[in-house]
Structure 1
Amino acid sequence: MLLLGLSGGSDPASDSGRTTLLLVAVGYLVLALPISVVVGLRRQRVTNAWLAAGRQPDRAEAAYALRLPVDTAGVAALTWLVGAVVVTAVGAAVHPDARVGLRTGLVTTLGGVVTAGVTYLLVARVARPVTTRALAAHPPVGSLLLGVRVRLLLTWGLTSGVPLTGLVLMFLDPSIPGGPGETVVVALVAVSLVVGALATLLTARAVGAPLRELRRAVQEIGSGDTSVRVVVDDAGEIGLLQTGVNAMAAGLGERERLRDLFGRHVGTTVAQQALDRGISLGGEERTVAALFVDVSGSTALARRLGPEEMVGLLNRFFEVVVEATSAEGGLVNKFEGDAALCVFGAPTRHDDPAGAALRAARRIRTAVTAAGEVDVGIGVAFGPVVAGQVGAASRLEYTVIGDAVIEAARLTELAKALPGRVVASGAAVQAAADAEQQHWAPGERLVLRGRDVPTSTWVLVGG
């Protein structure tokens, strides 16, 4: 830049004045560069301290580290500004026309602007590991240093603003009556092309690379992978976007975990219904099949096995119940110690609730018998119930209430004393399809405990 300022067209300066100015400029650089390096290192002592210690920075230290590109560019700009003052004074003193010194100072100032801008872009690129560590400890929260808009304006200034300003000043300079020479214009264009290509490349990489990573992360989140995270390595709008994507992924992951836990506690169908329609107290009348299964002799079994083995045994038993019920489109409504109540036809409607309950009862009986760990009784009943949310606004439970539930529990008591261990009501068998009825045979007609009317019982064929 200094050479461009000294070689305008018909420069009235003597060769000795030009040589003197060049020697002063070189001497200044020899003196100023080491001082600039020392000043830059001293300004980053705080950052170097926590980096050397291998620890996380506090908020003030992180903010200081994020200023590294700006501080370095500021030191470069100050160095060039002082140099511009020096060459302006020396140029005015050694040339007969003092305006040559002013022109040289202006050109040097423009060179400082370009150098400071390129320094910022280069340091911002090189210092990304430091920026990443600082932002990992303290993500950006809205106070931006240099955002995308400022970076684009900076790139425009380096590629177009400064070169064109320098060229216009040369044509307007009264100390160059014929305007700048051909060599000066070609040199200025060449420097502009090189600096512009470098600045554009750095800006494009600073913006494009994080956006590609964000696009990949969003695609993975959209496909269901909420564990994906992106590295926050920008202190501007892109950093805020990176932090937002990470927060979104974490929130979706937490929501899925809560949904999974909710579904495990109340059943996936109840959970989905609550998500789709909301939750409110109240119920509706449904015609359902109720299956009740209970372990025989559980008290003596618990004393013999101990609590840990008993819990493991019950978990294996309930796994059989859940699999058989889910396979037939039913809902395990609740576990009651060593017993379980399964419902077919609520909360979602079922085309054949009675047949599904009877098939599930046969599957449970077969699996339990094959395992040989527990003895159970299974009762199946069919009839109208009230199904819905009961409890309080702060604590709800989906349940079914009605005669069919009571009847299923009473049939379970009866089933424990029968060889097949499964008893169904006549209403349940008659409501099932013909293919399922073939597996059942009429039993006794009797009045169950706690009921006034007799119940027709059916048992498994060959049971």
Structure 2
Amino acid sequence: MLTVGTLVPSMLGASIIGVMTSRALPTGAALGDPTALRTNVIASAVYCAVVVPMAALWGLWCTTSRSNASPAQRHTLLTRIPACLTAGGAAVWTGAVVLLVVVNLTRPWLATTLGVATLSGATVTATLTYWWCTRVLRPLVAPVLTEDPPVRQQRLGLRMRALAAWVVGTGVPLSMVLLAAASALVVDYPGNRLAVVVLGLGGAALLSGLAVTLFTGATMADPIDEVRAGMSRVGRGDYDVTVPVFDASELGLLQAGFNSMAEGLRERERLRDLFGRQVGRDVARLAEAEGAPAMGGATHDVAVMFVDLVGSTRMATKMSPPDLVALLNDFFALVVDIVERHRGWINKFQGDAVLAIFGAPQAVGDHAGVALAAARELSDALSERNLQLAAGIGVSAGPAVAGNVGDLRRYEYTVIGDPVNEAARLSEFAKSEGGIAASGAALRAATASEADRWRVVTSQVLRGRDTPTDIAIPAASS
């Protein structure tokens, strides 16, 4: 494909120049001289015989890497191929311009006309070669530049590309029209022939301008379309997106910038997910909304469920640490699943115990009722599942302070208040009295539909407290 991209434009340019000089421009009469024609044909043939093999060797050198080349060297070679091949083709055509001018120095008008025509062909050929090579190599260059994106513009920018498009599509055809018109002022040039030339060149300008405009538009639109599609995916919350980087122009920098942005969003989302897993998603959202952290908290009506394993100390002496951790993780996974389904928040894991809050940081309707329902479901699940675990579950409700506790250098969001202490003491009671216990305050705060599922069985002064606590268990328990 690269060979086609270098040969076809050159052959096409040579053919157009041949037609122009023999039929359109006022060089036909001059070339009608056998001596002039023979001199130009021989010079052109010798030049092609010498230069074409050299150009072929140059092309091979531009597109071939050493067997021991590093990946970075191969990547560098790959990105330089379009400019390298274009430079070789431009050198060949520039040499042809010099040759034709020198050979025809005794015929100034012929030398000028051939030189200008050949130089125009060189401009078009070089531009088409560069465009073709960059398009052909795009599938190979894109992975390289995507992996190692450019940090500054390394190729012809959009302004130069627009200028080149104007030169190829408009400038060169119109310059040939101007050359024909100027020739009519200097040499004998029939009017009807001039009209045909102008019509032909004008039509060629229209077609070439349309083709170049479409090609240039597609070249510029493709990267923008990729970025637009990537932004659409990001807008839908899909941050795992990378657009291919086609080149090192402003468009390539745009694509690379989008990839950097998407990578930053992925990293932010990963950190947000990790943060949410560490402190709870409600707390994470609250921290993001608040911005700068504020120490202290606010009073909330909450329900607290404290879950403490029975016999964990004994298990630690009989089980290996990995087995004990695996068992605890199964237990914690069950607790987290039930608490989150009842709109609760796991405040912390304390060794083999879990503290769950209902009503903070986000308010929950019937916070006491959902906490009691979660406690009943957890107790039933521990009985039904083959985890070989027992736990004391305590539930309490009342006002507590929820907020950031600690120091600005190290703090955590937590809940402090009497319901937390009461739930912990109730879990101690529950370990020896059926596995689940709730305070009378929790029942009074719950709706009747949930409170009716419980019954008060005793009133005791729990450890560390001064007043008795009404203790309830599920009504179905004996």
28 and 407 in structure 1: CA distance in 2 versus 1, 3 angstrom threshold: same
Give 1:275 deviation, angstroms.
1.3
Cα separation, 2, equivalents of 1:261 and 1:223 = 21
| CA distances 1:115-164 after superposition (whole Å, capped 9, x unpaired) | 11111111212222443354245311122311223222211110100110
Among 274, 284, 296, the residue aligned to 1:261: 274
* Correspondence list, 1:24-173, <5 A: 24-42=43-61, 44=62, 48-49=64-65, 55-58=70-73, 62-63=75-76, 65-93=78-106, 95=107, 98-173=108-183
Larger deviation, residues 302-311 vs 177-186: 177-186
12 and 441 in structure 1: CA distance in 2 versus 1, 3 angstrom threshold: closer
Task: Letter of the 1:398 partner, please give it.
Answer: Y
| CA distances 1:72-116 after superposition (whole Å, capped 9, x unpaired) | 2222222212211111122233x4xx2221121111111111111
Report whether the alignment pairs 1:274 with 2:287.
Answer: yes
Cα separation, 2, equivalents of 1:408 and 1:6 = 103
Secondary structure of the residue that 2:40 maps to in structure 1?
A: helix
* Correspondence list, 1:21-420, <5 A: 21-42=40-61, 44=62, 48-49=64-65, 55-58=70-73, 62-63=75-76, 65-93=78-106, 95=107, 98-173=108-183, 174-178=185-189, 181-182=194-195, 184-185=197-198, 188-189=201-202, 192=205, 195-196=208-209, 199-278=212-291, 279-372=293-386, 373-419=388-434
Sequence identity (%): 38
Cα separation, 2, equivalents of 1:167 and 1:26 = 28
Give 1:216 deviation, angstroms.
2.5
Give 1:290 deviation, angstroms.
1.0
Cα pair 1:441 1:458 within 8 Å, conserved: yes
Relative to the length of structure 1, the TM-score reads 0.91
Task: Letter of the 1:242 partner, please give it.
Answer: Q
Relative to the length of structure 2, the TM-score reads 0.88
Cα pair 2:177 2:197 within 8 Å, conserved: no
Give 1:54 deviation, angstroms.
7.7
Task: Letter of the 2:240 partner, please give it.
Answer: S
Cα separation, 2, equivalents of 1:187 and 1:72 = 31
Cα pair 2:170 2:208 within 8 Å, conserved: no
Give 1:293 deviation, angstroms.
0.7
Task: Give the equivalent residue in structure 2 for 1:442.
Answer: 456
Cα pair 1:440 1:458 within 8 Å, conserved: yes
Cα pair 2:402 2:413 within 8 Å, conserved: yes
Cα pair 2:174 2:202 within 8 Å, conserved: no
Cα pair 1:2 1:107 within 8 Å, conserved: no
133 and 53 in structure 1: CA distance in 2 versus 1, 3 angstrom threshold: farther
Cα pair 1:10 1:177 within 8 Å, conserved: no
318 and 137 in structure 1: CA distance in 2 versus 1, 3 angstrom threshold: closer
Give 1:319 deviation, angstroms.
1.6
Cα separation, 2, equivalents of 1:110 and 1:223 = 50
Give 1:199 deviation, angstroms.
3.8
- Structure 2: stretches of 5+ with no match in the other structure: 1-16
Give 1:356 deviation, angstroms.
1.2
Secondary structure of the residue that 2:189 maps to in structure 1?
A: coil
Cα pair 1:121 1:202 within 8 Å, conserved: no
Which runs of structure 1 show a deviation greater than 6 angstroms over 4 or more consecutive aligned residues?
A: none
Cα separation, 2, equivalents of 1:9 and 1:102 = 11
Larger deviation, residues 181-190 vs 84-93: 181-190
Give 1:218 deviation, angstroms.
2.3
Cα separation, 1, equivalents of 2:19 and 2:340 = 85
Give 1:62 deviation, angstroms.
4.5
Cα separation, 1, equivalents of 2:218 and 2:41 = 37
* RMSD (Å), alpha carbons: 2.3
Cα pair 2:180 2:197 within 8 Å, conserved: no
Secondary structure of the residue that 1:165 maps to in structure 2?
A: helix
